[in-house]
């Protein structure tokens, strides 16, 4: 398996989902995944707690995607709380479940970890995981930030370390969400100039409720262009109209990105198959 098979689907669309809090909610998530399968994604990725708390859930879900649905599944794996032993046992557990794609991440400081423990963590950056993952036969993705990671002093510095991630063996990159395509095009140009030549998937988050936007901006640092701000002001008191306008905004973004020939579109579904379905139907 290599990264070309990840991009083999004609749709050029992939999805992110997250594990439910409770194991009892797994049947609902499997229904969501069954619905997402009908949209022919190139892959579905599943998030992982920064402290590794839901690693078993991530493995279970990605195994379902890979083995039951027959779609490429990507397990996110954060290194903030990993030791060498827990890293090796986690990737062995992935292999035993037939998982062969990993998105290698650092994760932010888990709430129950002290500043000292976070600063002294065994793996400082996900680039340190990649050579071992590659040797073990995994296809490996990395994260990238069109508006710069919040800790990087400059965009140039962030891209310098992104290039290192690719040199360590990342097969492709998935971007943080953004609402302004121009920012993504500028980022692609910077990557190209830096010699980063792996595929870069564009991260799109459909904003379907006014309350989503605050959390989304806090977590991602994405800037809000005027068109998005106008839409929020106009529809914030009308949930149905807000949902439709948010989906339309995502569709317009995706259409333009595709016209520009981007490598792929990665939709942050927030486990809402209906939103993904509406977007794919319009495309």
Is 186 an interacting residue with respect to ligand FAD (CB under 6 A)?
no
Nearest CA among 184, 190, 193 for reference residue 261:
184
Q: Tokens at residue 141, please? A: 């993705």
Q: Which is nearer to ligand FAD, 159 or 242 (CB)?
A: 159
Least Cβ distance, residue 48 to ligand FAD (angstroms)? 4
Distances from the Cα of 111 to the Cαs of 49, 84, 108, 148, 246, in angstroms? 11, 21, 9, 23, 31
Q: For residue 197, how many C-alpha atoms fall within 13 Å in the half-sphere facing its CB?
A: 2
Does residue 147 have an active-site annotation?
Answer: no
Tell me how many degrees the CA angle 80-166-60 measures, rounded to the nearest 5: 50
Q: Is residue 57 close enough to count as binding ligand FAD by CB under 6 A?
A: no
Selecting among 16, 72, 147, 201, the annotated active-site residue is: 16
The residue (of 100 and 106) whose beta carbon lies closer to ligand FAD is 106
Q: Which of 14, 32, 42, 47 binds ligand FAD (CB under 6 A)?
A: 47
> Is 108 a binder of ligand FAD (CB under 6 A)?
yes
Q: Which region, judged by CB under 6 A, interacts with ligand FAD, from 64-72, 144-152, 206-214, 272-280?
A: 144-152
Residue 171 within binding range of ligand FAD, rule CB under 6 A? no
Kindly give, in sequence order, each residue whose CB lies less than 8 Å from that of residue 160, ignoring residues fewer than 6 positions away: 194
d(CA 269, CA 15): 6
Residue from 17, 36, 44, 50 in contact with ligand FAD (CB under 6 A): 50
Candidate residues 12, 19, 52, 126; the one interacting with ligand FAD per rule CB under 6 A: 126
Per-residue x/- mask for ligand FAD, residues 194 to 213, rule CB under 6 A? ---------x----------
Does residue 127 interact with ligand FAD by CB under 6 A? yes
76: contact with ligand FAD by CB under 6 A: yes
Of 158-166, 206-214, 223-231, 242-250, the window that binds ligand FAD (rule: CB under 6 A) is 158-166
Residues tagged active-site: 16
- Footprint of ligand FAD (CB under 6 A): 47-48, 50, 76, 78, 105-108, 125-127, 143, 149, 151-152, 157-158, 161, 164-165, 174, 176, 203
């Amino acid at each position: 398996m290599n990264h070309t098979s990840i991009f083999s689907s004609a749709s050029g669309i992939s999805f992110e989902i997250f594990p439910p809090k409770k194991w009892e909610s797994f049947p609902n998530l499997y229904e969501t995944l069954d619905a997402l399968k009908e949209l022919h994604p190139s892959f579905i990725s599943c998030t992982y707690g920064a402290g590794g708390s839901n690693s078993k859930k991530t493995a279970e879900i990605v195994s379902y995607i890979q083995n039951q649905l027959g779609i490429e599944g990507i397990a996110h794996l954060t290194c903030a709380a990993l030791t060498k032993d827990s890293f090796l046992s986690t990737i062995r557990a992935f292999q035993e479940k037939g998982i062969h794609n990993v998105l290698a991440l650092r994760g932010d400081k888990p709430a129950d970890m002290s500043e000292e423990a976070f600063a002294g963590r065994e793996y400082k950056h996900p680039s340190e995981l990649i050579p071992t993952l590659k040797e073990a036969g995994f296809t490996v993705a990395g994260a990238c930030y069109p508006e710069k990671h919040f800790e990087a002093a400059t965009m140039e510095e962030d891209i310098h370390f992104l290039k290192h991630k690719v040199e360590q063996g990342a097969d492709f990159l998935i971007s943080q969400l953004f609402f302004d395509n121009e920012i993504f095009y500028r980022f692609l140009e910077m990557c190209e100039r830096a010699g980063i030549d792996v595929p870069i998937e564009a991260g799109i988050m459909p904003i379907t409720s006014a309350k989503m936007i605050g959390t989304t901006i806090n977590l991602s640092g994405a800037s809000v262009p005027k068109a998005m701000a106008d839409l929020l002001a106009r529809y914030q008191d009308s949930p149905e109209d807000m949902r439709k306008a948010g989906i339309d905004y995502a569709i317009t973004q995706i259409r333009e990105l595709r016209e520009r020939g981007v490598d792929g579109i990665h939709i942050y579904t927030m486990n809402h198959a209906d939103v993904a379905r509406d977007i794919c139907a319009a495309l």
